[in-house]
A and B are shown apart, each in its own frame.
Chain A
Amino acid sequence: MIPTFLHAIPLSSQVINLCAALMLLLAFAMLAQRRVLTLINLFMMQGFVLFVSTLIVALTTNQHELLVSAGITLVLKVIALPLILHRLIRKLSVKWDIETLLNIPTTMLIGIALVIVAFNVAQPISQLSGTITRATIGIALACVLLAFLMMITRSKAVPQVIAFLAMENGLFFAATSATYGMPMVVELGIALDAMVGMVIGGVFFFHIRQQFDSLDIRQMERVKEG
């Protein structure tokens, strides 16, 4: 009376399923996180999970473009972007706490609701898919929605940018693992856009800071005059 199990699925798909679960876990961890530094590390871990899953898809389906995109993921999301972010927050010296607009337990509850919604939405699609790892599209959608939630509940720029990048992680995961690789151009575009978005974000942080610094100084003068 042993019920139907995963036996029929090859090991690689199981690992991808595991990666999917880890992506979701990390998305939640990021949602719950109060420290900016840990948030960046979590983002880096999510990038690494993404890299592993892309690599496995690339090796099992023999798509060499995917190897390249796995490489891009590794270089950009695991190494370059976290480094840039670390540098950024060091320069801005806004290290510690993240201000949230909603308290964290409430956010988590909404997060669970979002996951249920995402799974329900993805259910009909999953049944149609030809790939074995079809269920991952639900998880990818959940990751996207969780990052979206994170974006709207954070008030500072750095966590918002990380949320934006996490959202692209989720999308990327959908593109590689759930569909076994979209055409290459698009992935390059995504990576590029993440990068450009980041650069613009970086420019922004500095300018916002400059502006607000000067604003503060002016306010101080006004107080003195008064």
Chain B
Amino acid sequence: MIELALVLATPFATAILLALFGHRRGAAEINSAGSLLTLVAAAALTIHIISDGPMTVYDEQFFVDPLNVFLIALTALVGFTTSLFSGPYMRVEHDHGRLSSARLRLYHSMFQMFMCTMLTALSTNNLGILWVAMEAATLTTVLLVSLYRTPASLEAAWKYFILCGVGIAQALFGTILIYFAAERVLGQSGALLWTHLDAVKSHLEPTVLSLAFVFLFVGYGTKTGLVPLHNWLADAHAEGPTPVSAVLSGLLLNVALYAIIRCKVLVDGALNTHFAGNMMMAFGLLTVVVPAFYLSRQKDVKRLFGYSSIEHMGLITFAFGMGGVASFAGLLHMTVHSLTKSAIFFAVGHAAQMAGTQIIDDIRGLVKMSPTIGWGLMLGSLAILGMPPFGVFTSEFMILTTSIKHYPWATPILLTALGVAFASMFHKVQGMVFGEPTVRPLAHNPALLPVFLHLGLVLMLGLWIPPYLAEWYRQAARLIG
């Protein structure tokens, strides 16, 4: 209980602290310290849940079970490593004059606020609060994406605000519909509490619930970046500061997907059909295929990896849609994608600073000027493209085998999309890493510990999943069904 309070209160307190002192020297260190404290609290919370099982606290408003504690731990971890990375990165941006001190303060404060909203969204038991936290996450990231105040970043942020605002409004309508259905069974109080809903889900009205799911899926799906509502994602990734791209890809998309999964559990219980799963599979498949063909056209390196994130979100959505063993694979893929993608963005951020541009054709010969950044980017790209022995390979392999077993028609589509993605991305990354150098070395030491920490974890997950972790995934997958 105290752990959860710490998990939520630490980022909030740090955000307030940084709002006051974020422009001073040492703000980056405060940021990292706050994130570390959150990580420690999250780890303690995880241990607590593993030993004692699910718990509801604070008047049942918060609820932690194996599914969300796993995401809380992941979020806290990536949040911490991103804060490590953002210190030197932001110092360089400040030195280059792209950011004033006031903006730096806004960045630090909003970064922690963003973490706080995501952790709230993950741990709340109330569907209403989940929605509020998601909208708050949208608003904080709008501020983060528009941090540079260039016309392009403003446009990206505006697009993000409008599209996600519309999406989140649909999600609210879905939430209202769930309340509408639940009020008849549960009465006024507790009709939005997920645990209560879960207990009576077989008595909820199927027509209302299926309609509610459509709205929730569209709403939170916009935020997950599912095609056809994915337009904001690449722009927001390209125009925001790189640490923000890393947490957007690595964390926010997961949280939105988590909201969908929670709702899917309710709808499955009420309908007893595969309606929600089919919908997730259809849109997941579409989301895998469409961006794969966009990848080869990208000129901006962060857009490139933004589209890659869309593709992987599609894959995860597809996996959760299939359910069963694939849920396990989906959770694993969520983990490895978060770790790998944020590692890639860390490397890309430094590469772009070395080259002074984000245009792929102008970034050449990274490995000669800075072997660590070059190899980090190369290995990260290989990992995200599903090369063994990295963890992405394991999870993609599991998703594909499940698909062959239950939905053989989908397998060739998935394989084609993954193949196309591989070809177009590998070619581009190869050019950036090798070739005649156009980049200059950095003035500061880049923070590369996060990159190799993440890649090391992904490698480990590819070779050997620790038994307790596997058991934990299995529990979480059982909750999803």
Interface on A for B, CB 8 Å cutoff? 121, 124-125, 128-130, 137, 141, 144, 148, 151, 157, 160, 164, 167-168, 171, 174-175, 178-179, 181-183, 185-186, 189-190, 192-193, 196-197, 200-201, 204, 207-208, 211-212, 215
B183-210 interface mask toward A, CB cutoff 8 Å, 1 = contact, 0 = none?
A: 1100011011000000000000101100
Q: Is the CB of A130 within 8 A of B183?
A: yes
Q: Is the CB of B208 within 8 A of A171?
A: no
From B128, B142, B157, give the contact of A186 (CB < 8 A). Answer: B128
Some 10 contacts from A to B, beta carbons below 8 A apart, are A124-B211, A128-B184, A130-B183, A167-B169, A171-B172, A185-B129, A186-B129, A193-B132, A193-B136, A211-B151
Q: Using known A-B contacts A125-B180, A129-B180, A190-B172, determine if residue A160 contacts B162 with beta carbons closer than 8 Å.
A: yes
Q: A171 CA to B188 CA in the complex, in Å? A: 19
Q: Using known A-B contacts A168-B169, A211-B150, determine if residue A196 contacts B139 with beta carbons closer than 8 Å.
A: yes
Q: Using known A-B contacts A189-B128, A193-B139, A215-B151, determine if residue A171 contacts B173 with beta carbons closer than 8 Å.
A: yes
Q: Is the CB of B184 within 8 A of A130?
A: yes
Q: Using known A-B contacts A144-B173, A189-B131, A204-B158, determine if residue A211 contacts B149 with beta carbons closer than 8 Å.
A: yes
Q: A193 CA to B169 CA in the complex, in Å? A: 11
Residue B305, interface by CB 8 Å: no
Q: Is the CB of B192 within 8 A of A178?
A: no
B263 nearest CB across to chain A (Å)? 16
Nearest-CB residue, chain B, relative to A179: B180
Residue B281, interface by CB 8 Å: no
Nearest-CB residue, chain B, relative to A185: B128
Chain B residues whose C-beta falls within 8 Å of the C-beta of A124 in the assembled complex: 207-208, 211
Chain A residues whose C-beta falls within 8 Å of the C-beta of B92 in the assembled complex: none
Residue B166, interface by CB 8 Å: yes
Chain A residues whose C-beta falls within 8 Å of the C-beta of B239 in the assembled complex: none
Chain B residues whose C-beta falls within 8 Å of the C-beta of A185 in the assembled complex: 126, 128-129, 132
Q: A201 CA to B181 CA in the complex, in Å? A: 34
Residue B111, interface by CB 8 Å: no
Chain A residues whose C-beta falls within 8 Å of the C-beta of B149 in the assembled complex: 207, 211
Residue B7, interface by CB 8 Å: no
Q: Is the CB of A200 within 8 A of B139?
A: yes
Q: Is the CB of B192 within 8 A of A183?
A: yes
B210 nearest CB across to chain A (Å)? 10
Known: A167-B165, A193-B135. 7 other contacts (CB 8 A): A128-B208, A130-B184, A141-B173, A157-B158, A164-B169, A182-B192, A208-B151
Q: Is the CB of A207 within 8 A of B177?
A: no
Q: Is the CB of B154 within 8 A of A208?
A: yes
B195 nearest CB across to chain A (Å)? 15
Chain B residues whose C-beta falls within 8 Å of the C-beta of A168 in the assembled complex: 169
Q: 3 smallest A-B Cβ distances: which pairs?
A: A189-B132, A186-B128, A124-B207
A5 nearest CB across to chain B (Å)? 26
Q: Is the CB of A179 within 8 A of B183?
A: yes
Q: Is the CB of A164 within 8 A of B162?
A: yes
Residue B143, interface by CB 8 Å: yes
Nearest-CB residue, chain A, relative to B210: A124
Chain B residues whose C-beta falls within 8 Å of the C-beta of A208 in the assembled complex: 151, 154, 158
Q: A135 CA to B267 CA in the complex, in Å? A: 23
Q: Is the CB of B176 within 8 A of A182?
A: yes
A30 nearest CB across to chain B (Å)? 16
A31 nearest CB across to chain B (Å)? 16
From B126, B166, B176, give the contact of A179 (CB < 8 A). Answer: B176
Q: Is the CB of B154 within 8 A of A204?
A: yes
A68 nearest CB across to chain B (Å)? 16
Q: Is the CB of A211 within 8 A of B173?
A: no
Chain A residues whose C-beta falls within 8 Å of the C-beta of B136 in the assembled complex: 193, 196
Chain A residues whose C-beta falls within 8 Å of the C-beta of B179 in the assembled complex: 175, 179, 182
Q: A90 CA to B207 CA in the complex, in Å? A: 48
A25 nearest CB across to chain B (Å)? 21
Q: Is the CB of A125 within 8 A of B208?
A: yes
A77 nearest CB across to chain B (Å)? 15
Q: Is the CB of B169 within 8 A of A183?
A: no
Q: Is the CB of A151 within 8 A of B173?
A: no
Q: A157 CA to B154 CA in the complex, in Å? A: 12
Residue B63, interface by CB 8 Å: no
Residue B161, interface by CB 8 Å: yes
Q: Using known A-B contacts A121-B211, A179-B180, A200-B142, determine if residue A186 contacts B205 with beta carbons closer than 8 Å.
A: no
Chain A residues whose C-beta falls within 8 Å of the C-beta of B176 in the assembled complex: 171, 174-175, 178-179, 182
Chain B residues whose C-beta falls within 8 Å of the C-beta of A181 in the assembled complex: 188
Q: A192 CA to B131 CA in the complex, in Å? A: 13
A101 nearest CB across to chain B (Å)? 14
Q: A200 CA to B128 CA in the complex, in Å? A: 22
Nearest-CB residue, chain B, relative to A129: B180
B301 nearest CB across to chain A (Å)? 24
Q: Using known A-B contacts A160-B162, A171-B169, A193-B135, determine if residue A125 contacts B128 with beta carbons closer than 8 Å.
A: no
Indicate the member of B142, B179, B180 with the most A CB atoms within 10 Å.
B180
Chain A residues whose C-beta falls within 8 Å of the C-beta of B161 in the assembled complex: 197, 200-201, 204
Q: A179 CA to B183 CA in the complex, in Å? A: 8
From A141, A148, A171, A182, give the contact of B128 (CB < 8 A). Answer: A182
A162 nearest CB across to chain B (Å)? 12
Chain A residues whose C-beta falls within 8 Å of the C-beta of B207 in the assembled complex: 124-125, 128
Chain A residues whose C-beta falls within 8 Å of the C-beta of B211 in the assembled complex: 121, 124-125
A16 nearest CB across to chain B (Å)? 16
Q: Is the CB of B139 within 8 A of A167?
A: no
B230 nearest CB across to chain A (Å)? 16
Q: Is the CB of A211 within 8 A of B154?
A: yes
Q: A192 CA to B211 CA in the complex, in Å? A: 27
Q: Is the CB of B139 within 8 A of A128?
A: no
Nearest-CB residue, chain B, relative to A125: B208
Q: Using known A-B contacts A167-B166, A171-B172, A174-B173, determine if residue A189 contacts B180 with beta carbons closer than 8 Å.
A: no
